[in-house]
Structure 1
Amino acid sequence: MSTSYDAIVIGAGHNGLISANYLARAGKKVVVLEARDVVGGACTTEELIPGAKWSSCAFIQGLLRPEIITELELAKYGLEMYQTEAMEVVIFDDASHMFMWKDMDRTLKELEKFSKTDAKAYLDFGVRIKKFAQIITPFLMKPPTSRSEVLAAFEAEGAEDLFDEFVLSSTKDLLDRYFHSEHIKGLFTFFGMISVWGGPSTPGTGYVYGHHSVGEFEGHLGQWGLVKGGMGGITLAMTRAAEAHGAVVRTGAPVQQVLVSGTKVTGVRLKSGEEILAPVVLSNADPARSILQLLPKGTVKPSIEKAVQQYDNRGSMARIHLLVDELPEYIGFPAGQGPQHEAQAIMGASVENFERAWEAQRRGELPEDFVIEAMIQSVTDPGLAPEGKHTLTLGVQQLPFELKGTTWDEMRDKFADAVLQVLFRYAPNLRDHILDRVVITPLDLERDYGLTGGNIFHGAMFLDQLFGSRPAPELADYRTPVTGYYLCGSGTHPGGGVMGANGHNAAKVVLDDMHHPAGRTPAAAQARPAVTGRTPVTDRFMSAVMGTKWGRELGYRVARQPALRKVVKIFTRSGV
């Protein structure tokens, strides 16, 4: 017995759910098939320890495109986001610390503690990031164009140096151009090291930094927030929105194989043996799973199989979720709850620590020291933990997927113990206040969350795997050689993170093919974002002012004034 639909979506991660939403809103009969018992993929909330819930993988919202939030009416279907005053706090070995606040004046005063020169440079850096975002953002919500056209957009704006800095350079070279303080560079380096196979000096890691810098929260670039109930609040709202428009979302329904007749897709077969038919199938899985595992062997040409096999999935990370009965008392802070418990805390961030982590990663080993990120969302969202307890999430980047001479299953507890020993250097009181823990290793990310190589981005985010080459030129427009079979996951343009543009773009291509089956337009030909001459007036004014010595000094004095926060926020808004 089989059931028929207009379209099947494999995987209820955020991109799959977004595709399903747009197809359902277009009147298509859609079913989403999720292997796990919970929706969300790596954007989910789970009760990992009885009575307490965590964002298992992703835990910060700053990349999800505002167009998608609006068009899918996610607030109507339960999405609730909020922001803390302190966004980050970096804690150093010498017990000093530095906050990154929501308000610019407070952040500048924090940076001044380490370097007044760097605090002034931070404004110029922000102007440059905003210019980069204005050029790159028009490419995000459209099918990919060629890398040469992206470069041409920068050239048209007279900003080739921005392309060099934020696309081609290493994170170290990028930050060295603006900052001198090792403390400040240590904090910012973290954002270029997320799920990478490399270190600060690795060319191309500047784009990992740039990719995260184009994120925004409530219209303000470079800011992020949290989701009430954890990141699963995003995908639960997407699920409700899809179901409200007629889509069916099934969990516990792992797909064994995509069914193909000749050169056309006909549906899928579940591991249970059930067959579901449809002339369109979208895979939210990564490219390796979508092409090499889900399709029958020999379906695509050997050259495409080879391209997918050579697609770089290296670069992983781990999460350690702790249930604690006391908040960490971080070194250098007074006792008691404070903004350090609401912010994303980063401990041990230094360029050298990141470089040493890369050397260990390259050898298939664990580093002797760890840079740790930490989030305690239960402080601002008490419903996540039982009364008197808190959910503490730790993250470690730059980990190898394959360990030399051992396995992650064998090293799970040793790794977690080693990370906790580092944590205790910064929060000694926690040594006696950890009630339970759950460790998610790179192997778990592949085995339990379906991420090949444990790469949360579905593949490395370097230029050779971006735009019209993600995941390969033959697959870059979301279509595959099998008619009716599409890719919609993070392994497609514009890349990873909880951005959602991939699912949006893939759905638009599918709908275009459905409506024009005889002469479908290559997706690359649709992507011609016009950027020349469209720089907003406020940004032209800011660039002109910040281009002079007196202007930079004036801008710095204005940005430092709490009374002028509303004025400063005008200039930090995206598209303004």
Structure 2
Amino acid sequence: MPQSYDAIVIGAGHNGLISANYLARAGKRVLVLEARDVVGGACTTERLIPGSESRWSSCAFIAGLLRPEIINDLDLERHGLEMYQTEAMEVVIFEDGSHMFMWKDIDRTLKELEKFSKADARSFLDFGLRVKQFASIITPFLMRPPTSRSEVLRAFEEAGCEDLFDEFVLSSTKDLLDRYFESEHIKGLFTFFGMISVWGGPSTPGTGYVYGHHSVGEFKGHLGQWGLVKGGMGGITQAMARAAEAHGTEVRLSAPVEEVLVSGGRARGVRLVSGAEILAPVVLSNADPARSMLKLLPKGTLKPSLEKAVGAYDNRGSMARIHLLIDELPEYVGFPAGKGPQHEAQQIMGASVENFELAWEAQRRGVLPEEYVIEAMIQSTTDPGLAPEGLHTMTLGVQQLPFELSGTTWDKARDEFADAVLENLYRYAPNLRGHILDRVVITPLDLDRDYGLTGGNIFHGAMFLEQLFGSRPTPELADYRTPVKGYYLCGSGTHPGGGVMGANGHNAAKVVLDDLAGRTPGKAAPARTASHRSVPDVVMGTRLGREVGYLAARQPALRKVIKLFTRSGN
């Protein structure tokens, strides 16, 4: 006789585990089925090199979007989640040896920006307040089922911030940054955050929202900051799995699902690839919308119109990771030898608006670019347990890559691509040549094939306005429900989008619990203030206020005061 549960979650990625947690806490008997032999999906830590004890965060490697409400609700710290920050957040390194740090403390950051443009250093505070105002309007929409795009626009209009909607939702990253900054070096760094898993370039309309989506993240209450997870990003999902198991959830690995069982228009459970059937009146899919609706449901389940809409859902925009095992830290041009803050920060090389535009042109044509913008992280410098003594784990990332290559395949081009990226890297860290002991390349095809990300898109779909809020992934599926009763979506292809945020899993679970209880919650808009203008917003709204604010922000002695202004609740 088949096993039965109250609910089955397909996929042990972070959103699936979050849904399982909330359902289990409501007294439901939950089973999580994961195709791979490790929990986490794209938020995981793995031993990627056979025979090596070193561990890497295979896909996501920075924690800045995970909602604090979820951390608190699920008591993740008690279940082993340990997050920490480095003093240096980012460092952008240029080929001529110049570089610029973004520090945790704003006074140090302003002095770095002044090296390239004093005007931009002043504009940085104005930009930061705009980001904070954008966050104050958009954040209340995150932890609830999506509303229409017109309702979101209305929130900006009521706050008198239509121009903010234009800048951070409709505009291109280039247009957004051009309004505030003049230095190509500074714009090159900031452009990176609008190019994550996009099919486009800096001038592509809508990429401003990709920047805005990342800017609303916070670390321990401080907006726009991020941290690292001890043990790698798998520390997040391992804590989530432990929390779920503590409330009775069963997590089963190496258990790929072949099909959702449907009878009479209702979900009845799942059939595994092994042939085993498991029953449940509720099934949630943490897979992306294309897999959830077109591959997991029996053929003929969906109306042709919805099947066509899901088939047209835009999954373009991919990236790659190259994981290195090194026996010497990079000696970057312009830095003295020896370990320094440049090794603890997120390192970005080749960041220029032109290089991002050239990468988009190559992506559009299905070829590899000649110049790569490279991000790097060496977490073993701050978390020695990730690598044996004398060794380090270094992860490289390349964005704006085509999923399909013209005239070849990723399997054939894997080494050619990795070699070319490393040749670019050697221009910034010549000493690394000869000190790379091994490497593992995760291509866009690998993201699709091994991690279950259709098209290699880590966000489960493009993050442009036509696929956001009440249209993500389609209007018919936007409230996490599907036409199959009892079958729900909870992955990053739902509102509010991608990244290790977790709001998707939270919201989906709440919808499931409402349906099981027969509740029909209203469509009330999220609570918001009339003006969204905090004290620092008002003060900085005057010329004198901006001057005083800038002088104050540059003073190390006033760090505690300035940090109060960066609190996300202000």
Q: TM-score, normalised by structure 2?
A: 0.99
2:18 maps to: 18
Per-residue displacement from partner, 1:359-402 (whole Å, max 9, x unpaired)? 00000000000000000000000000011000000000000000
Per-residue displacement from partner, 1:459-506 (whole Å, max 9, x unpaired)? 000000000000000000000000000000000000000000000000
Aligned length in residues: 568
CA distance in 1, matches of 2:33, 2:88: 39
Instruction: Give the one of 52, 58, 61 matched to 2:60.
Output: 58
2:104 maps to: 102
Percent of counterpart pairs with the same letter? 82
SS at match of 1:42: coil
Amino acid at match of 1:548: T
CA distance in 1, matches of 2:248, 2:523: 29
SS at match of 2:564: helix
Q: CA deviation at 1:51?
A: 1.1
Pairs within 5 Å for 1:295-374: 295-374=297-376
User: Cα–Cα, structure 1 residues 382 and 323, in superposed 2: closer, same or farther, change >3 Å?
Assistant: same
SS at match of 1:326: coil
CA distance in 2, matches of 1:560, 1:500: 35
Instruction: Give the one of 196, 202, 205 matched to 2:204.
Output: 202
1:244 aligns with 2:246: yes
Q: CA deviation at 1:551?
A: 1.1
1:560 aligns with 2:554: yes
SS at match of 1:526: coil
1:190 maps to: 192
2:162 maps to: 160
1:528 maps to: 525
Contact 1:74/1:241 (CA < 8 Å) preserved in 2?
yes
CA distance in 1, matches of 2:2, 2:255: 14
Contact 1:143/1:505 (CA < 8 Å) preserved in 2?
yes
1:397 maps to: 399
CA distance in 2, matches of 1:272, 1:331: 54
SS at match of 2:393: strand
Contact 2:160/2:531 (CA < 8 Å) preserved in 1?
no
CA distance in 1, matches of 2:189, 2:91: 9
Contact 2:13/2:286 (CA < 8 Å) preserved in 1?
yes
Per-residue displacement from partner, 1:144-198 (whole Å, max 9, x unpaired)? 0000000000000000000000000000000000000000000000000000000
Pairs within 5 Å for 1:167-316: 167-316=169-318
1:446 maps to: 448
Amino acid at match of 1:560: R
Instruction: Give the one of 507, 519, 538 matched to 1:544.
Output: 538
1:67 maps to: 69
Amino acid at match of 1:544: V
Q: CA deviation at 1:527?
A: 4.9
Tell which deviates more after alignment, 12-21 or 48-57.
Answer: 48-57
1:115 aligns with 2:109: no
CA distance in 1, matches of 2:374, 2:544: 40
Q: CA deviation at 1:526?
A: 3.3
SS at match of 1:48: coil
CA distance in 1, matches of 2:280, 2:524: 28
Q: CA deviation at 1:532?
A: 3.4
2:37 maps to: 37
Contact 2:159/2:531 (CA < 8 Å) preserved in 1?
no
Pairs within 5 Å for 1:73-84: 73-84=75-86
Q: CA deviation at 1:534?
A: 6.6
CA distance in 1, matches of 2:277, 2:388: 43
CA distance in 1, matches of 2:527, 2:167: 22
Amino acid at match of 1:573: R
SS at match of 2:48: strand
Amino acid at match of 2:33: L
CA distance in 1, matches of 2:304, 2:569: 44
Q: TM-score, normalised by structure 1?
A: 0.98
Tell which deviates more after alignment, 328-337 or 544-553.
Answer: 544-553
CA distance in 1, matches of 2:534, 2:467: 32
CA distance in 2, matches of 1:473, 1:179: 37
Q: CA deviation at 1:544?
A: 1.9
SS at match of 2:433: helix
CA distance in 1, matches of 2:71, 2:302: 36
Contact 1:172/1:201 (CA < 8 Å) preserved in 2?
yes
CA distance in 2, matches of 1:540, 1:300: 48
Amino acid at match of 1:110: E
Q: CA deviation at 1:549?
A: 1.3
SS at match of 2:534: helix
1:379 aligns with 2:376: no
Unaligned runs of 5+ in 2: none
CA distance in 1, matches of 2:432, 2:535: 50
